[in-house]
């Protein structure tokens, strides 16, 4: 084989390989989106009966499903705000100051990340029932905040590894007090890390099933609702909601990425 042909073959192979990877990643998503336009009305909603947008209409009549989605969004937003605030202060504090037991706290941060979710779920349930906190939205928010904090801390810590402390000194040198320095310098410079941590916390909260299952009480989140309905086959209105979430996510990603790109120019 000539060298030129060999190169051509290599190129062809890599194109096929890439296509297979993307197919593997995106085929399941395509199935969901396609199925949300399926006109079928009989279980298990798998056979294609023609195109229809009926399910999107039905989605807005399914109050239980919409309510669960509302719960999910509420819990995600509140727990993200809490985890981001606590995580940011923790990361900055642990970076800046030396104190006793720092290494212990540091090591403990990894525990919520590495222990199986089911263990965390059971322990949170035990904690909440022993302290008589009624299970519901409050316990869900607390649980989600708990497992999100380490991810926020790790994200900000990654940002801090390239952080030059002397910019804070420069700010103070130029006449800004400590609080002003934190809001003018520290926070904006760490913002990409904080934002990344918040997005991660938000995502983790939205699709959490196991821990939510143990701590939800009567409050149903969207993933729990999906789990429940799966016993009778995924109905296309859930597919429709998934497709809408997907579109929302894509728009969000496009906006943030283009923001990052224009900043780097």
Binding site for other proteins (CB under 8 A): 164, 166-167, 169-177, 180, 184-185, 188-189, 191
How far is 152 from 205, CA to CA, in rounded Å?
A: 13
CB of 150 or CB of 197, closer to other proteins: 197
How far is 231 from 239, CA to CA, in rounded Å?
A: 15
CB distance 168 to 119 below 8 Å? no
The tokens describing 79, both together, are 């727990």
User: Angle at which helices 137-160 and 117-130 pack, to 10 degrees?
Assistant: 130
CB of 49 or CB of 178, closer to other proteins: 178
Q: How far is the CB of 170 from other proteins (least distance, A)?
A: 4
Q: How far is the CB of 99 from other proteins (least distance, A)?
A: 13
Q: How open is the CA angle 226-231-234, to the nearest 5 degrees? A: 50
Backbone Cα Rg of the chain: 24
Q: How far is the CB of 263 from other proteins (least distance, A)?
A: 9
Q: How far is the CB of 252 from other proteins (least distance, A)?
A: 22
CB distance 160 to 193 below 8 Å? yes
Torsion (CA) 125, 126, 127, 133 in degrees, nearest 10: 60
Q: How far is the CB of 184 from other proteins (least distance, A)?
A: 8
CB of 18 or CB of 170, closer to other proteins: 170
CB of 50 or CB of 177, closer to other proteins: 177
Q: How far is the CB of 195 from other proteins (least distance, A)?
A: 13
Q: How far is the CB of 44 from other proteins (least distance, A)?
A: 53
CB of 109 or CB of 194, closer to other proteins: 194
CB of 92 or CB of 120, closer to other proteins: 92
CB of 42 or CB of 166, closer to other proteins: 166
Query: Over the range 210-244, which residues count as b (16 or more CB within 10 Å of their CB) and which as e?
Result: ebbbbbbeebbbbbbbbeebeeeebbbbbbbbbbe
CB distance 220 to 202 below 8 Å? no
Q: Is 22 in a helix, a strand, or coil?
A: helix
């Amino acid at each position: 084989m000539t060298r030129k042909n060999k190169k051509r073959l290599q190129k062809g192979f890599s194109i096929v390989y890439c296509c297979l990877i993307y197919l593997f990643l995106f085929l399941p998503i395509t199935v969901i989106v396609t199925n949300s336009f399926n006109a079928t009305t009989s279980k298990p909603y798998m056979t294609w009966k023609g195109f229809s947008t009926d399910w999107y209409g039905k989605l807005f009549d399914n109050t239980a499903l919409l309510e669960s989605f509302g719960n999910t969004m509420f819990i995600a937003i509140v727990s993200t705000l809490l985890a981001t605030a606590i995580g940011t202060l923790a990361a900055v504090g642990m970076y800046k100051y030396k104190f006793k037991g720092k290494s212990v706290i540091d090591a403990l941060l990894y525990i919520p990340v590495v222990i199986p979710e089911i263990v965390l779920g059971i322990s949170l349930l035990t904690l909440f029932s022993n302290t008589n906190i009624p299970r519901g939205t409050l316990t869900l928010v607390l649980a989600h905040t708990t497992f999100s904090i380490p991810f926020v801390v790790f994200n900000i810590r990654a940002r801090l590894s390239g952080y030059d402390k002397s910019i804070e000194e420069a700010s103070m040198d130029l006449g800004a007090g400590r609080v002003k320095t934190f809001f003018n310098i520290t926070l904006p410079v760490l913002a990409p890390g904080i934002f990344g941590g918040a997005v991660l916390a938000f995502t983790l909260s939205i699709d959490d099933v196991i821990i939510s299952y143990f701590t939800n009480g009567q409050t149903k989140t969207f993933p729990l609702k999906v789990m429940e309905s799966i016993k009778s086959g995924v109905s296309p209105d859930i597919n429709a909601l998934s497709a809408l979430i997907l579109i929302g996510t894509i728009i969000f990603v496009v906006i943030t990425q283009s923001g990052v790109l224009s900043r780097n120019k």
